[in-house]
Amino acid sequence: MSVGHISTPTMAFCTRHVVRGFSSSALRPAVIKHVMIIGGGQMGAGIAQVAASTGHSVTLVDTSEEILNKSVKGIEGSLKRVVKKKFADKPEAGAEFIHKVLQSLSTSTHAESVIQSSDLVVEAIVENLKVKQEIFGRLDKLAPQHTIFASNTSSLPIADIASSTSRLDRFGGLHFFNPVPMMKLVEVIATPATSQETFDSLLNFSKVLGKTPVSCKDTPGFIVNRLLVPYMLEAVRLYERGHGSKEDIDIAMKLGAGYPMGPFELSDYVGLDTIKFIIDGWCEKDPGNPLFKSSEMLNKLVSEGKLGRKSGEGFYKYK
């Protein structure tokens, strides 16, 4: 399906004299123009929006047209909010901006037919190692030499995901924050095998998106989640012990610590299914660590299909 016009794919750089995807004459980072985003959920749609808004040609991939239609509707809604501020006094320029962004965005349910023209693949699908490995392993066989692969995983080791491919030097992490159009940070993650050129390309790409990148090692939780997850888990344990209501804990952290959302509001915003994937994964890797012990309350909500804002109910109700 095409949302807008798909421009003719141009290679980011000449394939002649290419060593590991980089020009041998000068080992410089690749220019990223054509981006494939896999996963049209909260994160993938946000990344696609920001990439299309900053001069990239973007294809958003998901498993069904229905999901992709919903993603595009969400992007249109978010663009309207952005334009309301950015073009407050120039509504026509705002409408033109939205039109141009949507022209740069296409959707597809078939990643294989898009990969040939992709300089960068950003994966933002379900937080499951096997599923991520399967998709990257399949695309690796079809992708051009120069194509860089990146995962937006919250909690999985980038090296484990990359191990399903033969391009360990052209594989890194790009960890965006939710909501992507508003959050300025991107964690750029290098594994021991990520080449300097790949890392520089990912740093540069993040800057072109208007974000502030920070460099991270491929360690559990990178920087933000290594600090955020224990805080959030401690909040749910405090609540489970009956030492504070979720409402009071949220108010306390907003008014006492200056956070824009309390831990329960933020959990509902992130998605309780994603959070459960994160905790279960860490618990499996480090079963003796009390820090990552699973939460009965969280497990119950997920088993009832209460996944937070996206399902209409989580810790709170949204209907």
Ligand X SMILES: NC(=O)c1ccc[n+]([C@@H]2O[C@H](COP(=O)([O-])OP(=O)(O)OC[C@H]3O[C@@H](n4cnc5c(N)ncnc54)[C@H](O)[C@@H]3O)[C@@H](O)[C@H]2O)c1
Ligand Y SMILES: CCCCCCCCCCCCC[C@H](O)CC(=O)SCCNC(=O)CCNC(=O)[C@H](O)C(C)(C)COP(=O)(O)OP(=O)(O)OC[C@H]1O[C@@H](n2cnc3c(N)ncnc32)[C@H](O)[C@@H]1OP(=O)(O)O
Annotated binding site: 39-44, 62, 78, 85, 127, 132, 154, 178, 310
Binding residues for ligand Y, total number by CB under 6 A: 28
Per-residue burial over 236-263, b = 16 or more CB atoms within 10 Å of its CB, e = otherwise? bebbeeeeeebeebbebbeeeeeeeebb
Distance CA 315, CA 246 (A): 8
Least separation in angstroms between residue 179's CB and ligand X is 8
Half-sphere exposure of 209 (CA within 13 A, CB side): 29
Q: Which does 281 bind (CB under 5 to 8 A by kind): ligand X, ligand Y, none?
A: none
Least separation in angstroms between residue 23's CB and ligand X is 32
Q: Catalytic: 187?
A: yes
Q: Which of 118, 146, 187, 195 is catalytic?
A: 187
Q: Catalytic: 99?
A: no
Q: Which does 35 bind (CB under 5 to 8 A by kind): ligand X, ligand Y, none?
A: none
Site for ligand Y contains 214 (CB under 6 A): no
Site for ligand Y contains 283 (CB under 6 A): no
Backbone angles phi, psi at 277, to 5 degrees: -60, -40
Q: Which does 275 bind (CB under 5 to 8 A by kind): ligand Y, ligand X, none?
A: ligand Y
Site for ligand Y contains 177 (CB under 6 A): yes
Per-residue burial over 286-303, b = 16 or more CB atoms within 10 Å of its CB, e = otherwise? eeeeeebeebeebeebbe
Q: Which 58-97 residues touch ligand Y, going by CB under 6 A?
A: 78, 81-82, 85
* Sequence-ordered list of residues with C-beta below 8 angstroms from that of 292, at least 6 positions apart, any chain: 229, 233, 279, 282, 283, 286
Least separation in angstroms between residue 205's CB and ligand Y is 18
CB atoms within 10 A of CB 208: 15
Q: How many residues does the chain have?
A: 319
Q: Which two tokens stand for residue 129?
A: 């190692």
308: phi > 0 → left, psi -120 to 50 → alpha, else beta; which? left
Q: Which does 81 bind (CB under 5 to 8 A by kind): ligand X, ligand Y, none?
A: ligand Y
Q: What character string, x for contact with ligand Y (CB under 6 A) and - otherwise, covers 292-311?
A: ------x-------------
Q: Which does 61 bind (CB under 5 to 8 A by kind): ligand X, ligand Y, none?
A: ligand X
Q: Which two tokens stand for residue 77?
A: 């809604």
DSSP for 195-233?
-HHHHHHHHHHHHHTT-EEEEEES-TTTTHHHHHHHHHH
Distance CA 200, CA 30 (A): 9
Site for ligand Y contains 154 (CB under 6 A): yes
> Whose CA is closest to 301, among 290, 310, 291, 289?
310
Least separation in angstroms between residue 152's CB and ligand Y is 8
Q: Name the residues that contact ligand X, by CB under 6 A.
A: 38-44, 61-63, 67, 124-127, 131, 135, 152-154, 176, 178, 270-271, 274
Q: Which two tokens stand for residue 13?
A: 């750089």
Binding residues for CoA, by number, are 78, 85, 154
Least separation in angstroms between residue 87's CB and ligand Y is 12
Q: Which 113-132 residues touch ligand Y, going by CB under 6 A?
A: none
Residues classed as catalytic: 154, 175, 187, 225
Give residues in contact with ligand Y (CB under 6 A).
78, 81-82, 85, 154, 177-179, 181-183, 225, 228-229, 232-233, 235-236, 260-261, 263-264, 266-267, 270, 275, 278, 298
